[in-house]
Structure 1
Amino acid sequence: MTSNDPGEWSPAQTSELVQLFKGADFPWWVAGGRAIELAVGRELRTHGDLDVLVLRRDQAQVQESLSGWDLHVADPPGTGKLRVWRYGEVLEEPLHDIWCRRTPDAPWSVQLMLDEAVGDEWVSRRDRRVRMPLARLSRVAADGTPYLAPEVQLFYKAKHTRERDEVDFEAVLPLLDGDQRVWLLDALATTAPRHAWRQKLQ
């Protein structure tokens, strides 16, 4: 079943995610603007959704953790078309965007993003030259919520920079240490060498 009418959103709270994935045997990270807020320790703006990053290789376990939920995959990506993610179906590249709600009548509450990994290394789905050890990808908030390293989240935000992305960048920039700045500078040099953020990172 395919739908062009995705419906309304009522984003889950990060505390709900912690309970939902409690005891999960796979890594997961809050992503998007919420990840930046967890990094800076304060709310920056309202959010229309809640992004969660997981690894493609863990998708069967992720689907099992969401057993009973109504799960749809964006197919083709970026077109606004959703179809049911069938139980046991293995999603191959380029499919990576999964919308989740507790029942078909409920609003969407979680947006799962599948990303790549090779061994113990995260690999960007946008450009396989951009990589990071999985151990470095993770940060943990004071309340125990895992979230994506801010430099990686900024890398994703840099592709199509909007006003809210600039807000996120300016908020977290003072908190980036030397290694984080170097990684993001290198990633942007590889994928967007003329990006305006590069000058601010130096």
Structure 2
Amino acid sequence: MNRPATVDEDAWRPWHPTELARRLNGLSKPWSLVGGWALDLWHGSQTRDHEDLEFTILREDFETFRRALKGMRFHTVASGIIEHLLARKVPPAEISQIWVRGYPAAMLAGRHDDRAEKRRTCGSTSATPPSPGRAPR
């Protein structure tokens, strides 16, 4: 039975994109910022405060990213329910959003995108990580 999360969402603090880039530095798997920070990177400056830092990865690369973000807690999110994702457990196929929390509190929203590979091979989007030097200040 699913229960509402006991996670205090207000206690989570988002990383800056440069922190994510630093932690994922050296990974050969594709990832990309999405959402508000992606737009700010496109504009070349931070346009507002952000409540999260969203990035997308390919579903089959989940364990690689989980290892890169070791020491953090992963949570599945679906239909307003947040549930802790136990270590070594992969998210079910119907889950498309994972929240990541570290200590001290930091929050990322990671999306598994099964369609990303199709978009990437069509050339309509880049799945390469941003350069830390290009992040807004």
Normalising by structure 2, we get a TM-score of 0.80
- 2:125 counterpart (128, 137, 140): 137
Which 4+ runs in 1 deviate beyond 6 A?
none
Which structure shows the higher helix fraction? 1
Q: Which residue of 2 aligns with 1:27?
A: 30
Q: What SS does the aligned partner of 2:113 have?
A: strand
RMSD (Å) for aligned C-alpha atoms: 2.5
- 1:58 counterpart (36, 42, 61): 61
Q: Which residue of 2 aligns with 1:99?
A: 99
Cα drift, residue 27 of structure 1: 1.1
Total equivalences in the alignment: 130
Asked whether the equivalents of residues 10 and 107 of structure 1 are also in contact (C-alpha less than 8 Å), the reply is yes
Q: Which moved more, 1:86-95 or 1:53-62?
A: 86-95
Structure 2 segments unaligned to the other structure (5+ residues): none
Q: Which residue of 1 aligns with 2:7?
A: 6
Structure of higher RCO (CA pairs closer than 8 Å, 6+ residues apart): 2
The 5-angstrom pairing of residues 170-189 of structure 1 reads none
Q: Which residue of 2 aligns with 1:82?
A: 82
Distance 1:31 1:46 in 2: 15
Larger Rg: 1
